[in-house]
Amino acid sequence: MSWIDWDHNAFYHRCLLRQLPRGCARALDVGCGAGSFAAKLARRVEQVDAMDQSPTMIDAAKIVVPDNVSCLTGDFLRHELAEESYDAVFSISALHHMPLADALPRMAAALRPGGVLAAIALPRADLPRALPVELAAAAGHRLFGLAFAVAGCYRKEPSHKDMPVVLDPPLTTRAVRTAATALLPGARVRRLVFWRYLLTWRKPVSPA
């Protein structure tokens, strides 16, 4: 691992936390990995359910999360979840491992009316359209890496090597946007610089 290599997922934790709705009492972290985001989420939410299909990741998560986090081993697409039971559903670097047509409706169903879905995932490179962003990301990665190495932040966790990796994500950001808005009208998708996109959606509240 290069000394300027750094954790892009951890870098975007604050971006996800900014999507947290007011008065959030219960949240779900889909694909929680080693639990670092779930631990941060637990400081702001009464109850967090952190789910990952890897027992290795769940074991690592149990070490770092506080008592108000429940760690669940299971495949999100098959795990039984009560409908409308969460105020927020989050996911970081897991959505590109699942078919959007299966994952997004399940996430939406788990949300209470007014609840928020926020996911960060990896897009497929959209060349040559996205070439300026790719070049900026490559240059920024090195510059930020140098600064983060000096500051001692955003280091990759020891468990990073055990995380599943998709070397060639199936969908570009444009394709994700098209699919997401068809599945969840009102969804917003935007490309982030460091090889990620952000998908957000608020579940409509039915009129009284």
Any idea which fold 8-124+163-202 has? Rossmann fold (3.40.50)
- What does the radius of gyration of the chain's CA atoms come to, in whole angstroms? 17
Residue in the block written with tokens 């779930």: 38
Confidence of residue 2 (pLDDT cuts 50, 70, 90): low
For residue 109, what are the CA distances in angstroms to 42, 80, 139, 159, 183? 22, 12, 40, 31, 12
pLDDT attached to residue 198:
98
For residue 68, what are the CA distances in angstroms to 20, 71, 76? 17, 10, 20
| pTM for the model | 0.89
Whether a cis peptide bond, with omega within 30° of 0, leads into 128 is yes
CA atoms within 13 A on the CB side of 7: 21
Could you read off the pLDDT of 42-88 as tens digits, one per residue? 999 999 999 999 999 999 999 999 999 999 999 999 998 999 999 99
Could you read off the pLDDT of 20-50 as tens digits, one per residue? 999 999 999 999 999 999 999 999 999 999 9
Q: Are 89 and 27 in contact (CB under 8 A)?
A: yes
